[in-house]
Structure 1
Amino acid sequence: MKLFYCDVPAGNFGDDLNTYLWPRLLPDAFEGAVRFTPLEAAAVDHEDSRDTLFVGIGTLIHDKVPAVGRKVVFGSGCDGSRLPDINGQWDIQCVRGPLTADALGLDSTLAIADPAILVRLLPPAAPEPIHRVSFMPHWCQAQSGAWQKICRMVGIHFIDPRWPPFQVLEAISSTGTLISEALHGAIVADALRVPWIAVSSKHHIQDFKWRDWCASIGQAYEPVAIPAIWTPASGLRSRAVMAAKMAYGASVLTRLDHSSRLSNDVVIARLTDRLVEVLEAFANPHRFAVNLAPQY
């Protein structure tokens, strides 16, 4: 079986969790991976019909998935568009939320939660919070370096979604409240019982997938607007626009302290148990070992 996932060259926490989490939960189940990048427009060029693709963490149910071969979907979501032809080659174990299930015409019982919540099965990455508030942007917004500077200005810990997964897990675990534009920053924070606040610059942010996950945990998606900040062109006007955006971004982050969300303890425990049940039911007939106490 091969992992199917999005491979952002600079690194992206949610996508990179696939190569970090699944080999720990399903040791010896995978023989390589099939990757695609965000900029690929066509379906992934993979034509070995003997392969089984494991479609896990991310918005991966789309028309880029190879047409040939078996696809095992475990908790993935769609974005409401570019939907593939769900035929007999698709083995859908569960999906991220009710919006994905509805878009694909699936039974509502298949809508459980994003499988990234299974980080709850890992040992604690940090013993206790050491940062009162942290901010995690979308990986595209992290590239300019502006948000790192803003966080230093206002005394907020910065978490870069391009860091290796363990480093991000450790950083989220050690924060009191996470302000996140990155979907899987919020998902993992909620799973680890760290209150979170959704923000959005609108660029590259897909409301559908956020609403899909939020519906699965009984929360509303009501993001606070933040400015989109890219690397500026040279010139006095560009520098002035950048300075104004950074000042606005700083003012937004410092006002968000008391508006956090967190799903109910009973809800997150129930969703975790349901995902574990589905994972075990899938693994046992195929003689895949399931490790529910994996080590880092």
Structure 2
Amino acid sequence: MQLVYYKSKSGNFGDDLNIWMWPQIFGSDFLQEHQEIAFFGIGSILMEDSVFIEQANTCEKKVVFGTGIRSINENIKIDDSWHIFFLRGPYSSLKLKGNLDHYIADAAYFLTLLPQYKSYINTPKKYKISFIPYFMSVDKVDWQKICDDLSWNLILPTDLNNVEEFITEIAASEQIISEAMHGAMIADIVRVPWVRFRFYSHLHEGTMVSEWKWNDWLLSIGFHENKEINIGLRNKKSTRGFIKKRKVKSLIYSQTKNIDESLFRLSSDETLNNIVKQLKSKKEALIRFID
């Protein structure tokens, strides 16, 4: 498989999960065999006129396996060489296929099929609250100082070599506050209540892209309301300069001083079990396809 995914120089857990997880799901040679097939897994990388589509078009076949459409503005042309096994959510399904029949959830939910999954959900708790910034927000403020002041555990999404540690740190938490969508997603997968932290990602990606991605996933797990802790930044310049960064820190402290416990949530066991059942079926279908 020619794995098609976003590669960040600084590392980004959601994208890096592709390299770590797929060989565990399909076997150690999965990414070396069948080089005539482009494989789209985790990521919001279905984008017209992108390097991802360009890479895929060098391959005889294209497999889409839990990927997300980047935004409502994408107009991707697919032909018979594209095999859409499933998409991340209803938005992606409707945009790419014109119906709501081709989604399950984000491909990260394949973590539930790993043999060590039960050990993740049974991990002893070490932290009351853990916080996960967006990978492009890591250097915007001193998160370690903020987390220390708030008695939170900081989990960075940018360590390329510690994918499993990222998962186990989330699993060792009683609650997760996450700006990173895949931080919230992993919390949901390992059954740790989570809440979205709206800080900088929507400014970096654009509000339309950010909200599309989050709601595509949220709808796939049965949530129709986007609950969040909103810091209220209006533009990228809000985090530039010493004075502005001090103001941002004050905003973070004020918005997190007394967090409403009702903001934290978790998809239902029934929803998760239904997702797992469908993923098992898609795994078997892909194995038949490549054999």
How does the TM-score come out when normalised to structure 1? Answer: 0.84
In structure 2, what is the equivalent of residue 260 of structure 1? 264
How far is the alpha carbon of 1:167 from its aligned partner?
1.7
How far is the alpha carbon of 1:285 from its aligned partner?
4.0
Contact 2:239 2:248 in 1 (8 A): no
Consecutive unaligned residues in structure 2, runs of 5 or more:
none
1:107-126 aligned at under 5 Å gives the runs 107-122=99-114, 123=116, 124-125=119-120
Q: Deviations over 1:74-105 (max 9, x none)?
A: 00011222332122221100000101111113
How far is the alpha carbon of 1:250 from its aligned partner?
2.1
* Structure 2: distance between partners of 1:132 and 1:152: 13
In structure 2, what is the equivalent of residue 157 of structure 1? 153
User: Which of 29, 37, 51 matches 1:52?
Assistant: 37
Segment of structure 1 superposing worse, 96-105 or 220-229? 220-229
In structure 2, what is the equivalent of residue 42 of structure 1? none
- Decide which structure has greater helix share: 2
Q: Which runs of 4+ in 1 moved over 3 A?
A: 227-233
1:107-256 aligned at under 5 Å gives the runs 107-122=99-114, 123=116, 124-125=119-120, 127-163=123-159, 164-201=162-199, 202-204=202-204, 206-219=210-223, 220-226=225-231, 238-256=241-259
* Structure 1: distance between partners of 2:67 and 2:131: 25
In structure 1, what is the equivalent of residue 31 of structure 2? 30
Contact 2:141 2:245 in 1 (8 A): no
Q: Deviations over 1:106-153 (max 9, x none)?
A: 442211100101212231247221101111111111123522221111
* Structure 1: distance between partners of 2:274 and 2:237: 40
2:57 is equivalent to residue 100 of structure 1: no
* Structure 2: distance between partners of 1:208 and 1:86: 21
In structure 2, what is the equivalent of residue 72 of structure 1? 63
* Structure 1: distance between partners of 2:26 and 2:41: 12
* Structure 1: distance between partners of 2:171 and 2:101: 31
CA RMSD in angstroms comes to 2.1
In structure 2, what is the equivalent of residue 16 of structure 1? 16
Aligned-residue identity in percent: 30
* Structure 1: distance between partners of 2:237 and 2:7: 22
In structure 2, what is the equivalent of residue 4 of structure 1? 4
Contact 2:238 2:244 in 1 (8 A): no
How far is the alpha carbon of 1:232 from its aligned partner?
6.3
SS of the residue corresponding to residue 246 of structure 1 reads: helix
How far is the alpha carbon of 1:162 from its aligned partner?
0.6
How does the TM-score come out when normalised to structure 2? Answer: 0.85
The size of the alignment, in residue pairs, is 267
Contact 1:151 1:250 in 2 (8 A): no
* Structure 2: distance between partners of 1:283 and 1:20: 19
How far is the alpha carbon of 1:286 from its aligned partner?
2.2
* Structure 2: distance between partners of 1:273 and 1:149: 42
